[in-house]
A and B are shown apart, each in its own frame.
Chain A
Amino acid sequence: MSHTGDSGTQSVSLDFENLVGRYYSSLYKFAYSLTQTEADACDLTQQTFYVWATKGHQLRDSTKVKTWLFTTLHREFLESRRRHTRFPHYELTQMDAELPTVSPASVNQLDAKGVMEALARVDEIYQAPVALFYLRDCSYKEIAEILDIPMGTVKSRIARGIAQLHTLLAASPSGRQKGAA
């Protein structure tokens, strides 16, 4: 399947300022989709570049910079979460027979805040792959590398995550009101 964003095999300059300019916005958006708060997202983004500044020299393959940064941010996020909560264990089950649809009225009501709130309620195991999918910065191959899971698992988690997200959006209060109107 094709993808957007820059190519996973593209070599990029390792100059710090160039890297920040190139990726800070995408990384912040990924962090925000995981944490739902501006302060935590800023902190995670800053921490990611801090780790790059101190450990980035260990990366020999400059084509891997993007996935390295996203992986680092995700690991920092997991580390902070592990400190406060225990991840529930999820078994991947068969997808619901009926896939959700969001009413046209609900679609018009969607905004970033509502979508992020719904994403926060999606099973945690699906949140990161779904966020990376919607950010459109990473190919499926890159998402697999970032999360360190096989490509097939990435796709199934994205599919299940999208299904959950759409179900939540369809059931949101504004959606129900509009749908009933």
Chain B
Amino acid sequence: MTRQEAKEILLLYRPDTDRNDPDFAPALEHLRNDPELKRWFEQHCATQNAVFDSFEHISVPEGLKEQILSERKAHVNLGGRRAARLLVAAAVAVLLLIGLVMFYSKPPKAIDFSTFRLRMAGKVLRDYPKMDLETADLGQIRQYLAQHGGQADYVLPAGLEKTRGTGCAIFDWQGKRISMLCFNSGKNSNPKAPDLFLFIVDRSAVQEPATPSSPEIAAVKTLTTASWVSGNKTYLLVVEGGQDFLREHL
């Protein structure tokens, strides 16, 4: 084994982890007779330990776990455990009763608006969820939403009324029904690819934005957003572009 070959093997060596791994034994043996290789290896291990420590010390934001758990969907996988299903069935009846009592005694908790805005912008960035219906016809979009339990009685801003639609989707987030309307401004070379996304949610589902009566503009990551409240709906428009581009569609 040459020094270079030994180095290439030892590059993958993890101090404290791979000490007794037979795959590294020949290269480690080589260190005994090669002082230069040994010097390189000691330095390499020191660097590796420092990098491992760096990864170890990446701090996880407080509250992330709670946030994930709060987003848990109702239909979490319960696997094929029959016993669990029976238990769930029994529990459902009890919970239904408790739920009814709670429903009539306390209004449901509204979600923080900034969280709603951040997560919807995240969906746009990930191109997720996919559209349930792809069409340029805004009438068809409204009809689809009405037929599938989405928010159909929405009012579009004048700018969006004139914009070509690309489709829509309905999804649940934190137990709230959300409708997403997608548009193409014409600046995108692909007419089917949206660059404007309008999220509509019932007004009671999320806390109101800071200025509910007039659009509140905010940058989220690489996107620009506008949010407002009208009637019994809260609207969030997310665009791939700057403020001027966004204002053209309000």
Contacts and interface: CB of A to CB of B under 8 A. Distances in A.
A108 B69 CA distance: 38
B116 to A, nearest CB: 13
19 contacts: A14-B77, A24-B65, A28-B58, A28-B60, A29-B55, A42-B67, A43-B119, A47-B126, A52-B77, A53-B77, A57-B78, A76-B126, A97-B4, A99-B7, A111-B54, A136-B14, A162-B11, A165-B51, A166-B44
A169 interface: yes
Interface string A55-98: 01101001000000000000010011001100000000001010
Nearest to A38: B61
A112 B128 contact: no
Contact of A80 (B17, B76, B126): B126
Contacts of B53: 110
A25 B24 contact: no
A45 B78 CA distance: 21
Given A1-B24, A114-B54, 19 more contacts: A14-B77, A16-B72, A17-B69, A20-B69, A24-B65, A25-B60, A29-B60, A33-B58, A43-B118, A43-B119, A45-B64, A53-B72, A54-B73, A56-B76, A110-B51, A136-B52, A159-B11, A165-B51, A169-B51
B68 interface: yes
Given A14-B77, A53-B76, A56-B77, A83 B61 contact: no
A160 B24 CA distance: 18
B18 interface: yes
Contact of A158 (B4, B12, B55, B64): B12
A136 B43 contact: no
B97 to A, nearest CB: 24
Q: How large is the interface on B (under 10, 10 to 19, 20 to 34, 35 or more residues)?
A: 35 or more
B50 interface: yes
B82 interface: no
Interface string B19-49: 0110110000000000000001001101100
A4 interface: yes
B197 to A, nearest CB: 13
Contacts of A141: none
A176 interface: no
A42 B71 contact: no
